[in-house]
Amino acid sequence: MSNASGTERRRPGTFARLLGYVARQPILLGASVVFLVLGTVVLAFQPLLFGRAVDEFADGDAGNATRYGLAIVAVAVVGGLLTYVANRQLAALAQGGMELMRNDLFEAMQELSLGFYDAEAPGDLNARVTSDIEAVNQFFTTAVPRIITTAMTVVTMLIIMLSLDLTMSVVVLLIVPMSLGLIVVLGRRIQADAAAYQQLIGEVNGYAEEVVQGQRTVRTYATEAETLARLVELSEQAREADRSAQFRSYLMQPASRLVNNLDIALVGLIGGTRALTGAVSLGDVVSFVGYSQQFGGQAMQLSQVVTQTLSAIAGARRVFTIIDTEPDLASSEDATPLPSADGKVDFDNVDFSYVPGKQILFDNDFHVAPGQFIGLVGPTGAGKSTIINLLTRFYDIESGTIRLDDHDITELELDDLRHRCGVVLQVPYLFSESIMYNLRYGREGATDAECIEAAKSANAHGFITRLPDGYDTVLSEGAVSLSQGQRQLLTIARAIVSEPDVLVLDEATSSVDTRTERRIQAAIDRLMEDRTSFVIAHRLATVRHADQIIALDRGRIQEIGSHDELIAARGFYHDLYMEQFTRQESSDVSGPG
């Protein structure tokens, strides 16, 4: 991860942190443990009761043997019911742990700056939120209950066995180091393969997402075959890593069964020998054979969850990387609240770099009075959008000062600062929710009437009411059912709802036709009334009436003044304007190609 995204805090081990999400639910955990202890204790007496029944039969006491048989049935019923209740509690415990972790992840992602997202591939982030979280989900819902059940069962059986005979207990317990050896040897490879699979599946998802989003480009250049070949190659690499992990996982179960059978044979051999000498009864030997089988069953259960656990650890590490990343932008502890602003903006000798060593802005210095209309112009890469990113504090500057209403913006509450600044982007983004939801997204407490009035001011009310469900119409992903202009009008209405004191328009009309541009411009003019406004302009004609035009080139301010002043100065802006004007005249004369 890039250093730009922040620094990571030291934390406990990944597995301990995963279990920590279970421990954060003490009441549910306590109830689960109580029922599980009762269930495992009851069921752990079954082999003992079998042994006692055998001894009674050997002594010729059929009545006592029958009573032990009935006790075995009762133990099975009561233990089964208690285990069922315990498993229900454990399932709820696991789901609660998963919810806590998912909430931690999304909370962390909301707090991270744009610098973090700049440094990460979108597809890989998507994989962390989907496939990595799913691997952790499998751990919580399947592995955690089995781990707790195995631990409680082993402890209970161990106590009973030691109370019967120490030597036979040691023989039964020989299965433990042998099983653990298998888990360690195979588990290391499974974990490495699982980590590789999680990484590769992130690459597959990322590439697939790019292909879907860039489908028009793929078809334009007729690269379908090459694109498919690349996707197949990545998928094959992921499949191979998963195949390797699954092979070792499947190998673990029969290997564990072999170890268990060897242990049972050893218990029978040594137990039979000790029974002949009178050291233990025949029933005790039967009991220890039963406990050996149960120990083997627990070992096999443990081997079954190894793959899930190791996959979860691999996924959790990638998730915890995000959770542990400290935001490099945050409100200071003594931040000043700013419930409203007049809109005075000052940039004092501001320098900035997105990447250390590659400076973007150089000594930017300008001052904006409340209510002024400011045009930001210049060629691509001049630094226009960067100025807006710094004003809204999506990034922190390297040197200099940015002030809003004479407050250094680094000393303001971040939420207040961004609520005071309304932004309409060149590419509008709308959520796959109702139109009313998208309008109210600008201010959660806005009423329906306020949202409708904002839509009217933005010239959006007409087309909204013609939709099948009006304001309740649910938009598709990306709002593809709406035109570019309609989407832009909705984002303008959303900005109106947010009631900003400083308005930012990032080339909001550059991607629409002339007729739609006029409608959008009329909505923008209403939105700009009595507000300090920054307009990033591709078409210089849109800022001709600006109070000040800031002309930038390669991160440096070349000129500041009104349109007439800058044209008369015959400097950088004059040349930029005349070049665009000449191109426009040439286009008008030649007509469409």
State the DSSP string of 372-396: -EEEEE-STTSSHHHHHHHHTTSS-
* Rounded (10°) angle between helices 62-111 and 144-164: 150
pTM for this entry: 0.66
Select the more confidently predicted residue: 366 or 443: 366
Q: What digits encode the pLDDT tens for the residues 406-447?
A: 999 999 988 888 888 888 887 778 888 899 999 998 788 889
Which superfamily does 7-323 belong to? Answer: ABC transporter type 1, transmembrane domain (1.20.1560.10)
Which range among 9-18, 324-333, 350-359 shows the weakest confidence by mean pLDDT?
Answer: 9-18
Q: Which residues of 466-487 are buried (b: 16+ CB within 10 A; e: fewer)?
A: eeeeebeeebeeebeebeebbb
Strand partners, 163: none
Residue pair 451/470 in contact (Cβ under 8 Å)? The answer is no
pLDDT at 173 over 60: yes
The residues spanned by each domain of the chain are: 7-323, 345-587
Q: What digits encode the pLDDT tens for the residues 184-219?
A: 666 666 666 666 776 776 677 667 766 666 665 666
How sure is the predictor about 1, in pLDDT bands with cuts at 50, 70 and 90?
A: very low
Q: Return d(Cα 520, Cα 497) in angstroms, integer.
A: 16
pLDDT at 509 over 80: no
Q: Return d(Cα 27, Cα 31) in angstroms, integer.
A: 6
Q: Give CATH for domain 345-587.
A: 3.40.50.300
How far from chain centre, in Å, is Cα 467? 34
Task: Give every strand in the sheet of 399-404, ordered side by side.
Answer: 358-368, 345-355, 399-404, 407-408
Which pLDDT score is estimated for 590?
43
* Residue 148 identity: I
Site of tokens 């959770």: 323
* Percent of all residues in the chain with a pLDDT value above 90, rounded to a whole number: 19
Residue pair 531/503 in contact (Cβ under 8 Å)? The answer is yes
Q: Which residues of 226-243 are buried (b: 16+ CB within 10 A; e: fewer)?
A: ebeeeeeebbebbeebbe
DSSP state of 325: B
Burial class (CB in 10 A: 0-12, 13-18, 19+), 586: exposed
DSSP state of 363: E
Residue pair 106/133 in contact (Cβ under 8 Å)? The answer is no
Closest CA to 347 of 321, 320, 383: 383
- Record the tokens describing residue 385, joined without a space: 């959008």
Which pLDDT score is estimated for 362?
94
- Record the tokens describing residue 267, joined without a space: 């218990």
Select the more confidently predicted residue: 138 or 575: 575
Q: Return d(Cα 59, Cα 244) in angstroms, integer.
A: 55
Which pLDDT score is estimated for 564?
93
